[in-house]
């Protein structure tokens, strides 16, 4: 019995935490032509909109999420010459200081990797179906509103 190849091997949606160094090494494995690896990690802040946050819960749309992230990843590969890229996004309950998201991009030269990682994160923010819900110290819950600044960050990549 062999495991079937996952449909999107460069995308991972999971509850578990990830090891940044291990992920960066995996990205480079087997490539001798990589000269640059750029990684971005998003983490949980303990404050939002002026309020203390105790728990952050991430919900997503299984099936569409993977498809949307793969589309963003492939667009980055079309825009810049990249050797490899990987996106991890956690779901479920997280706490301040936890890692939420990782984008890792490898290229021959740094410029392409920097641009592509920035592009993937800006597009992920506005195009991938994830939703955040915060729990405050008093136990009350609220859905996080989309930010105008994220929509503007997306626009900077319009051709």
Q: Among 86, 85, 101, 104, which residue's Cα sits nearest to residue 43?
A: 101
Distance CA(92)–CA(70), nearest Å, equals 21
| Beta carbon nearer to other proteins, 113 or 120 | 120
Site for other proteins in 75-94 (CB under 8 A): 89
Q: Site for other proteins (CB under 8 A): which residue of 96, 129, 135, 136?
A: 129
| Beta carbon nearer to other proteins, 82 or 100 | 100
* CA distances in angstroms from 40 to 24, 46, 51, 58, listed in the order given: 11, 19, 25, 18
Q: Is 58 in the site for other proteins (CB under 8 A)?
A: yes
Q: Is 37 in the site for other proteins (CB under 8 A)?
A: no
CB of 34 to other proteins, least distance (A): 25
Q: Are 74 and 9 in contact (CB under 8 A)?
A: no
Q: Which residues in this chain contact other proteins in the complex, by CB under 8 A?
A: 42, 58-61, 63-64, 67-68, 89, 100-101, 121, 124-133, 143-147, 150
């Amino acid at each position: 019995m062999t495991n079937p190849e996952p449909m999107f091997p460069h995308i991972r949606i999971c509850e578990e935490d990830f090891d940044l160094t291990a992920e960066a090494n995996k990205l480079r494995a087997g490539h001798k032509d990589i000269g640059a690896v750029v990684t971005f990690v998003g983490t949980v802040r303990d404050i939002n909109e002026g309020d203390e946050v105790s728990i952050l819960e991430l919900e997503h749309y299984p099936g569409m999420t993977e498809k949307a992230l793969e589309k963003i990843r492939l667009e980055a590969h079309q825009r810049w010459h990249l050797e490899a890229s990987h996106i991890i996004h956690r779901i479920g309950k997280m706490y301040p200081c936890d890692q939420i998201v990782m984008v890792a991009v490898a290229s021959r030269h740094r410029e392409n990797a920097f641009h592509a990682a920035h592009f993937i994160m800006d597009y992920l923010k506005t195009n991938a179906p994830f939703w955040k819900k915060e729990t405050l110290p008093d136990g009350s819950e609220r859905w996080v509103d989309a930010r105008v600044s994220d929509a503007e960050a997306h626009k900077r990549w319009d051709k």
